[in-house]
Structure 1
Amino acid sequence: MIRELTHHDIEQVYSILRKEFNDIDTKYLSNTFDTSYKFIVWDDEGINGFANITLIDKSERNWNLQIYVDPQFRNRGIGTALYQHIEQILFNQKASIITTNFRVDIYNPSYFFNKLGYNKWYGSPELHYRGTIQPDVDIDIVPYEDKYYQQYAICRQESFYELSVKNDFRPYKIPLSDEDRKYLFDKKDTIFITLSEEHLVGAITIDNGYLDHIMVSPAYQGKGYGKKLTQFGINKAISSGAHLVYICYIEGNEKAERLYPSLGFEVVCNTHVYRKFMNN
């Protein structure tokens, strides 16, 4: 009953997802199919569930796992059978860490994964902004340039260090590297920074309505820069034609929990990430 996915199965699998995820990206399955190391389905005269694995980090032997079962066929052992099949593949691949993520606002499978030896790693709410233009900010915000790379990288390290330690995001400080520098250079049109006498104070990334990497150097925190960067991001996204402005943050980030709702963002979903350490 378990076999590998083919392109002919995609519409059936997609119809399962539509039953609960009305807002799912139409490119989801094609992207997942292309990037998955293995994608299997449970076929009992029609596809009732599926599972796939993707290699996240080869050096750390870190894999991501996704399992989904049609709601009307749950509690029949399909998810367990799919998992056991996938876990054997991961065991043969000498996986060290397996992660999985799922939305808990629709259907919460945490009990299923707890039984399999997984523990919650972190949660990430997603918030949407559907309001109007925010007031103009009184700080100068300019496009990122490569000459600011070292300052930007250090600001990122320092701004997210405590959150990284708290949630075991390793490395706790993202190392400065040529690869990282090139990535930021390639994304430079989406990154904006604010300076004080050529010292980088904070930054924000704005990418097709998504606000990311909002950060303020610890020396300047508590002075309203985070709010002003977010307001700038909202206005920039709207003026660029974004139909929706959205943002995510990590549970336990108290500043984010207070700031974003105060600006008009509303939580629309919450994703939890679970992980399991393998003994290979």
Structure 2
Amino acid sequence: MIREYKVEDKENIIKILQEGLVLDMSYINEDFSSENNTILVYEDEGIKGFALIEPRNKVTKFYNINIYVKPNCRKNGLGTKLYNEAVSYLDEVKPNTLSTKYVDKENVSEFYKKIGYKKWFSFYEMTYNGDPKEESKLKFVNYEDKYYEKYVQLCADGFYDLRAENDIQPYICSNPNEEDRKNTIKEKDDIYLCIDDNDEIVSTVKIKGGYVDDLIVSKSYEGKGIGQETTKFAINKCIKSGVDKITLDVVVWNVSATHIYKKFDFDIVQKINVCRQFTEK
């Protein structure tokens, strides 16, 4: 039967996922603890699979549905039943866009194709388990509110090409407003900025635990090795904080960033394919 998730299910679901995937527990904990997410469980003499329903943008009615079925329970309709139940759960919302993702090595692309999904983009999950690097030549400071407008513009410029080339809308990802400003200042201890003599942002990186995110170099400083120096800073900062494993995600399209991370001994753990469909409701 299909039922709603209970807290005591978490341990069993993690065991199921570990049968075929490399897990980042920070992702798992976030997915299972978020009040915005809904999890449906298929149980029949034990948990056989589950569906995770995640709102990506409630304004545009964009939702993510991830389905996972135990490898030895596949090809008998469980995935379809979980998916149909998840879609039914969203009936009242009438979503405009649905997305899903799966590990590239899993032979599930035909399943998603049959239910209307098309390949969107892919990204690598990468990890670093090595020693500290030589000290970065750059100096970084924590984010301050006085840099908000410049920081928002840097993010918009830095991600525009990636988002446009992969049709990730909106192409301009930053929308300056008071709520965003307040949320950004809440993350000030995780956001690091390199500032030049004119008080302009040279590069930035967000470090949360052992996860490296939003590493961006100003357009005016591209081609000067700033990305490499920022990567060295991020690695060393994580290690100094006591982290054993450093993780990051990079879109496959971003060849230059992938090259830098490989140069600094990050390993590709797995490739994730993201698919989507536009509904007609």
The normalised TM-score by structure 2 is 0.90
Contact residue 128 and residue 246 of structure 2 kept, 8 A? yes
Contact residue 54 and residue 63 of structure 2 kept, 8 A? yes
Q: Specify the alignment match of 1:102 in structure 2.
A: 102
Contact residue 17 and residue 23 of structure 2 kept, 8 A? no
Q: Specify the alignment match of 1:256 in structure 2.
A: 257
Q: Specify the alignment match of 2:279 in structure 1.
A: 278
Measure the CA separation in 1 of the matches of 2:162 and 2:89.
33
Residue type of the partner of 2:231?
T
Measure the CA separation in 2 of the matches of 1:193 and 1:228.
12
1:204-243 equivalence runs, <5 A = 204-243=205-244
Shift of residue 241, structure 1, vs aligned partner: 1.0
Contact residue 36 and residue 52 of structure 1 kept, 8 A? no
Contact residue 18 and residue 24 of structure 1 kept, 8 A? no
Residue type of the partner of 1:65?
I
Is the alpha carbon distance of 1:85 and 1:180 closer, same or farther for their aligned partners in structure 2, counting shifts above 3 Å? same
Residue type of the partner of 1:100?
T
**Which deviations, in whole Å up to 9, do the C-alpha atoms of 1:204-237 show, x marking residues without a partner?**
1111121111111111101111110110111111
Is the alpha carbon distance of 1:10 and 1:139 closer, same or farther for their aligned partners in structure 2, counting shifts above 3 Å? closer
Residue type of the partner of 1:116?
I
Percent of aligned pairs sharing the same letter: 33
**Which deviations, in whole Å up to 9, do the C-alpha atoms of 1:34-86 show, x marking residues without a partner?**
53654333333433222232322211111111211121111111111222222
Measure the CA separation in 2 of the matches of 1:234 and 1:23.
20
Q: Specify the alignment match of 1:111 in structure 2.
A: 110
Is the alpha carbon distance of 1:143 and 1:30 closer, same or farther for their aligned partners in structure 2, counting shifts above 3 Å? closer
Is the alpha carbon distance of 1:243 and 1:164 closer, same or farther for their aligned partners in structure 2, counting shifts above 3 Å? same
Q: Specify the alignment match of 1:244 in structure 2.
A: 245
Contact residue 10 and residue 29 of structure 1 kept, 8 A? no
Q: Specify the alignment match of 2:131 in structure 1.
A: 132
Q: Specify the alignment match of 2:178 in structure 1.
A: 178
The reply on whether 1:201 has 2:202 as its aligned counterpart is yes
1:14-93 equivalence runs, <5 A = 14-21=14-21, 23=23, 25=25, 28=28, 31-32=31-32, 35=35, 38-93=38-93
Q: Specify the alignment match of 2:164 in structure 1.
A: 165
Shift of residue 22, structure 1, vs aligned partner: 5.8
Shift of residue 123, structure 1, vs aligned partner: 1.1
Shift of residue 121, structure 1, vs aligned partner: 1.6
Measure the CA separation in 2 of the matches of 1:160 and 1:27.
22
1:255 is paired with a residue whose SS is helix
Contact residue 143 and residue 193 of structure 1 kept, 8 A? yes
Shift of residue 9, structure 1, vs aligned partner: 4.3
The reply on whether 1:189 has 2:189 as its aligned counterpart is yes
Contact residue 63 and residue 98 of structure 1 kept, 8 A? yes
Gap runs ≥5 in structure 1: none
2:90 is paired with a residue whose SS is helix
**Which deviations, in whole Å up to 9, do the C-alpha atoms of 1:8-35 show, x marking residues without a partner?**
5444434322322364528837852653
Deviates more, 1:241-250 or 1:78-87: 78-87
Is the alpha carbon distance of 1:143 and 1:47 closer, same or farther for their aligned partners in structure 2, counting shifts above 3 Å? closer
1:249 is paired with a residue whose SS is strand
Shift of residue 88, structure 1, vs aligned partner: 2.6
Number of residue pairs aligned between Structure 1 and Structure 2:
279
Shift of residue 160, structure 1, vs aligned partner: 1.1
Measure the CA separation in 1 of the matches of 2:115 and 2:225.
44
Measure the CA separation in 2 of the matches of 1:247 and 1:37.
23
The normalised TM-score by structure 1 is 0.91
1:242 is paired with a residue whose SS is coil
